[in-house]
Every structure is written in structure tokens, then in C-alpha cells.
Structure 1
Amino acid sequence: MDKIYNNRWFLLLFISITWGSSFILIKKSLLVFTPYEIGAIRVLGSGLILAAIGIPALLKMGKNNLLWVIIAGFFGNFLPMFLFPIAQTQVSSSLAGILDSLVPIFILAFGFLLFGIKSKITQVIGAIIGFIGAASLIFFSEGNSENSQFGYAMLIILGGASYAVNSLIVKEKLPQLNAVKLTAAVYSFWAIPSGIILYFTGMIQNFEMQPTYIEPMIYMSFLTIFGTAIAMLLYFKLIQKTSAVFASISSYLLPVVAIIWGILDGEEFTFWYIIGGALISIGIYLIREKKALTVTTTKH
């Protein structure tokens, strides 16, 4: 079991399938929960599950590490948990999955801007191609139609950029921390503001169990336990074991999983999904050449 847990390809596949499925789980959860309830429940639930490990880890942590854990948690474990369900009130789960695959491109850009990680010209070209792909999806697909809005699609991109910042911080500033303790500490800290948000949604005070809640609550449970706590734990481990760029290879697989679930759920799959998704994939491929892996390892 330990051998599987330490296998980078197993971790990558598990993360890709789990996070690729999270978009359809968010969609199903939105049937009865608000975006703010979904975000708060995911973080608070994960914090409660991991509190026995997270609270002692926080108390023993040095001030410098604690600061970076809090910052990393905000960008990777708190803010995106609200951005994605808000966006998916207007954006399909398939499109959300495709746009989220921009994470490696943001890692490239922020890696240079924040940590001085240099890029080759082919990587820059790859980033440009990827953004063109994202723009085509937003402007020519549902992201710019009557059924959706440009701003909501941009929230998905903002969530991807947020994940990129989190990944770089984990690799560059927190490589020495145990992945389990890091994950537990992050969720234990951000569970507090999430609990406050959940209280002000009125859900805690006014919740009444109804038959229509059962199925969405099952989806929410899977989303919280597997798509949030466990997946993030394995993701942190994968980043520390390899690099932020290698971990972001999941961006190749994640949209495929999201699209399959979307089609099975009856979502429309348009021509622009193919064009935009292909351009993003080409951009990621150009970013991820062998020398790039070597450079960024000294760092989703």
C-alpha cells in the first residue's frame, strides 16, 4: 500500500479522476445548496475530518511556516472552493473542467513573476496559445451566450490562477512539511472562517432534512471527503515528491473526465470545446518540455 501511495503516476491518475469528477459533483450539489454553502461545507468538513492532525501541527509550526501555510491555504484550499460553485451556477461542468486546465500556464507565469523561475521561448509561446484557447472558449462558447456570462467563466480562470499560486508556494516555501500535516493544518485553519460563512448563510439555523436533500448530500459528501481532503493531501504529496509542473499534468486528464461526466449528464458538447481544449492542450505540452521540468523542480 505504501508503495502505491508513493507512486507518482498512481497519485496523478487518482487526482485527475477525483478532481475531474468534482465539477459534476458541484453541479449536482447546487440543486439544493447555494455556492457559499458548498464552499463552506467543503472546507469546514475537511477541517473537522483532519482536525486531530491539523490543530497539533499548527500549534507546533514555526511563525514563518505558519504564515506560508495560511497564504497557501487561502489560494488553494479556501478561495477556489467558493469561486467554482459560484461560476457553475452559469457555466457547465464540462466548460469549467476545460478552463481549469489552464493551471500549468499560470504556474509558468507566476513562477517567473514570484520566484524568478525562467522560461524558454517555446514555453512562452505555449502560454500564449493556451490563453488563446481559453479566450475562444469564453467568447465563442457558452461563456458568452445568453445562458451564461463572461464574468462567471472568468471566475473559473481566477480559480485556476489561485491554484497555481498555491502550488508554487507549497513547492518553493513548504517542501519540508509532511503532506498529511500540511493538508490537515491548512484545512484546520480555514475551517474557522468557513464555519462563520456557513453560519451567516443561515443553513445551520434553518436546516430541515427533506427527501430532496438526500441525493445532493451524498454528492456533497463525496466532494468533501474525496474531492477536497483526500485529493488535496495526495496533491501536496505529489508536488513535494516531483514538481508543480509534473503535478499539473493532471490538467491533461482532468478536462477529459469533466467532459465525459458532462456528456453523460446531457450537457451540450460544442465545436468550440474541441478547438479551445486542443489549443490549451498544445499550450500545456509546449510548456512541459523536458528542460522545463528540470528548471521548475528547483518548485500546483
Structure 2
Amino acid sequence: MKNFINNKWFLLLVIALTWGSSFMLIKKSLVVFTPYEIGAIRVVGSGLLLGFIGIPALFKMTKKTIIWVTIAGFFGNFLPMYLFPIAQTQVSSSLAGILDSLVPIFVLVFGFLIFGITSKKTQILGAIIGFLGAASIIYFSEANTEDSNFWYVMLVVLAGASYGVNAVVIKERIPNVNAIKLTAAVYSIWAIPSLIILYFTGFIQNFEMKPEFTEPISYLAFLTVFGTAIAMLLYFKLIQDTSAVFASTASYLLPIVAVIWGVLDGEKFTFWYVFGGLLILIGIYLIREKKKDPKLVPRG
């Protein structure tokens, strides 16, 4: 089993399958829970599961490390947990999964903007092609109809951008923090504000178990344990073992998994999903990890 955990391709596959399924799990959870409840429960639940590791780990970190862990957690483990369920009140799980595959492109963009990581011309071309693919999906798909809302679709894009920032921060500022301790510390920090959010939703005070809650709760529990805590742990490990760009290439498989679940659940699937999705994947291919790491250039 240890060999599998240390195999980057195995980790990539597990992450893609888990996160690719998370959009459908969010959709099923939205039947009885609000977006804010889903986001808060995912973060609070992960914090409770991992707090016994995260809290001691935080006490051993320097102030500078804690700051970067907090920043990485905000963009990768807090903000997207709310953006996706809010968006999916108006956006299909298939579309959310396809657009989330923009993450490697955002890694490239923010790697340059934040840390001055230069890119080759082919990588820049890949980013442009990927964004054109996303633009075509947004313009020609459900985002441009009366049944949906452009701004909800943009929340999915914002969540992808947030993951991009998270990946480059981890790789460039806290690459040597153990993946388990990093994951646990992140959720230990952000469980507190999420618990406050959960309280103000009224969930804690007014929750009453009903028969119709049984199935959605099981979906949310699976999403919290496997789609949030465990998957993020594996993702952090993959970033540290390889690179932010390689880890984000789970996006090759993630939209395929999301679309399969969406089609099985009766969601609409159009030509523009295929066209735009292919452009995004071509863009990811062009920016894929090269044998040599990108050169870091000091920002003036």
C-alpha cells in the first residue's frame, strides 16, 4: 500500500476520481442543505477529523509558516468549499466539473503573477487556448440561457482560480511541511470561521433529523471525509512530491468523471461542452510539466 501512496500516477487517479465525483455529491446534498451549510460542514467536519494532528502541528510551526499555511488554506480549503455549492444552485455538476479543469492554467498564470515563474511560449499559448475553451462553454452553454446565471458560472471559474493560488503557494512557500500535518493544520485553522458560519445558518440550533435527510446526509458525509479531508491530503502530498502543475493535471480526468456522473443523472450535455472541454484539455497539455522546472525570476 505504501508503494501506491508514493506513486504519483496512483495519487493523481484517486484525486481525479474523488474530486470528479464531488460535484454530483454537492448536487445531491443541495436537496436539503444550503450552500453555506455544505461548505461549513465540509470544513468543520474535516477540522474535527484532523484537529488532533493539526493543532499540535501548528504549535511547532514558525509564525511565517503559519501565515503561509493560513493563506494556502483560505484559497484551497475554505473559499472554494462555499463557491462550488453556491454556483451549483444554478449550474449543472457537469459544467462545474468541466470548468474546474482550468486549475492548471490558473497555476501557470498565478505562478508568474505572484512568484515570477516564467513560462515557455507554448505554455502561454496553452493558457490562451484553455481560456478560449472556457469562454466558449460559458457563452454558448446554459450560462447564457434564462435557466441559469452567468455570474454563478463565474463563481466556478473563481473557485478554480482560488485552487490555482493555493497550489503555487504550497509549492513555492511551504513545500517542506509534511502533507498530513499541512492538511490537518489548514482545516484546524479554517474550521473556526466555518463553525461561526454554520452557527449563523441556523443549522446547529434548528437541525432536526427527518427521513428525507438520510440520503443527502450520507452524500455530504462521504464528500466531507473522502472528497475534502482525504483527497486534499493526497493532493498536498502530490504537489510536494512533484509540482503544482503536475498535481493540477488531475484536471485531465476530473471533467470526464464529472460529465459521466452528470449524464447518468440526466443532465444536459451539449456540443459546446465537448468543444470547450477539448480546448481546455489541449491548453492543459501545452502547459504540462516539462523535465526542467520553470526558472524563478525575482519580481522587481
CA distance in 2: counterparts of 1:296 and 1:104, whole angstroms = 17
CA contact (8 A) 2:245 2:289 kept: no
CA distance in 1: counterparts of 2:271 and 2:242, whole angstroms = 35
For 1:140, the equivalent position in structure 2 comes to: 140
Structure 1 residues 243 and 208, CA gap change in structure 2 (3 angstroms): same
Report the 3-state secondary structure (helix = DSSP H, G, I; strand = E; otherwise coil) of the residue aligned with 2:263. helix
For 1:218, the equivalent position in structure 2 comes to: 218
For 1:233, the equivalent position in structure 2 comes to: 233
**Length-normalised TM-score, structure 2:** 0.97
Structure 1 residues 289 and 231, CA gap change in structure 2 (3 angstroms): closer
CA distance in 2: counterparts of 1:294 and 1:191, whole angstroms = 34
CA distance in 2: counterparts of 1:119 and 1:48, whole angstroms = 40
CA distance in 1: counterparts of 2:295 and 2:136, whole angstroms = 29
Q: Deviations over 1:50-93 (max 9, x none)?
A: 01001111111110000000000000000000000000000000
CA contact (8 A) 1:29 1:220 kept: yes
CA contact (8 A) 1:91 1:148 kept: yes
Gaps of 5+ in 2: none
CA distance in 2: counterparts of 1:209 and 1:271, whole angstroms = 42
Report the 3-state secondary structure (helix = DSSP H, G, I; strand = E; otherwise coil) of the residue aligned with 1:31. coil
Q: Mapping of 1:153-164 within 5 angstroms? A: 153-164=153-164
**Amino acid paired to 2:87:** A
Is 1:21 aligned to residue 21 of structure 2? yes
Report the 3-state secondary structure (helix = DSSP H, G, I; strand = E; otherwise coil) of the residue aligned with 1:32. coil
Task: Please report how far the alpha carbon of residue 120 of structure 1 lies from its aligned counterpart in structure 2 after TM superposition.
Answer: 1.1
Task: Please report how far the alpha carbon of residue 125 of structure 1 lies from its aligned counterpart in structure 2 after TM superposition.
Answer: 1.1
For 1:107, the equivalent position in structure 2 comes to: 107
CA contact (8 A) 1:16 1:254 kept: yes
For 1:204, the equivalent position in structure 2 comes to: 204
Task: Please report how far the alpha carbon of residue 234 of structure 1 lies from its aligned counterpart in structure 2 after TM superposition.
Answer: 0.3
Task: Please report how far the alpha carbon of residue 290 of structure 1 lies from its aligned counterpart in structure 2 after TM superposition.
Answer: 2.5
For 1:166, the equivalent position in structure 2 comes to: 166
For 1:282, the equivalent position in structure 2 comes to: 282
CA distance in 1: counterparts of 2:208 and 2:264, whole angstroms = 31
For 1:189, the equivalent position in structure 2 comes to: 189
CA distance in 2: counterparts of 1:83 and 1:265, whole angstroms = 22
CA distance in 1: counterparts of 2:196 and 2:138, whole angstroms = 34
For 1:46, the equivalent position in structure 2 comes to: 46
CA distance in 2: counterparts of 1:61 and 1:133, whole angstroms = 41
Stretches of 4+ aligned residues off by more than 6 angstroms: none
Q: Deviations over 1:111-132 (max 9, x none)?
A: 1111111011111111111111
CA distance in 1: counterparts of 2:185 and 2:212, whole angstroms = 34
Q: Deviations over 1:11-60 (max 9, x none)?
A: 00000000000000000000000000000000000000001001111111
CA distance in 2: counterparts of 1:24 and 1:227, whole angstroms = 11
**Amino acid paired to 2:249:** I
CA contact (8 A) 2:117 2:296 kept: no
For 2:269, the equivalent position in structure 1 comes to: 269
CA distance in 2: counterparts of 1:248 and 1:161, whole angstroms = 12
Is 1:242 aligned to residue 232 of structure 2? no
For 1:294, the equivalent position in structure 2 comes to: 293
CA contact (8 A) 1:126 1:284 kept: yes
Identical pairs, percent: 73
Task: Please report how far the alpha carbon of residue 254 of structure 1 lies from its aligned counterpart in structure 2 after TM superposition.
Answer: 0.2
Task: Please report how far the alpha carbon of residue 271 of structure 1 lies from its aligned counterpart in structure 2 after TM superposition.
Answer: 0.7
CA distance in 2: counterparts of 1:60 and 1:2, whole angstroms = 26
CA contact (8 A) 2:141 2:272 kept: yes
Task: Please report how far the alpha carbon of residue 177 of structure 1 lies from its aligned counterpart in structure 2 after TM superposition.
Answer: 0.5
**Amino acid paired to 1:295:** P
CA distance in 2: counterparts of 1:263 and 1:199, whole angstroms = 36
**Amino acid paired to 2:27:** K
CA distance in 2: counterparts of 1:83 and 1:71, whole angstroms = 17
For 2:74, the equivalent position in structure 1 comes to: 74
The number of aligned residues is 297
**Amino acid paired to 1:233:** L
**Amino acid paired to 1:177:** V
Q: Deviations over 1:217-238 (max 9, x none)?
A: 0000010000000000000000
Structure 1 residues 56 and 104, CA gap change in structure 2 (3 angstroms): same
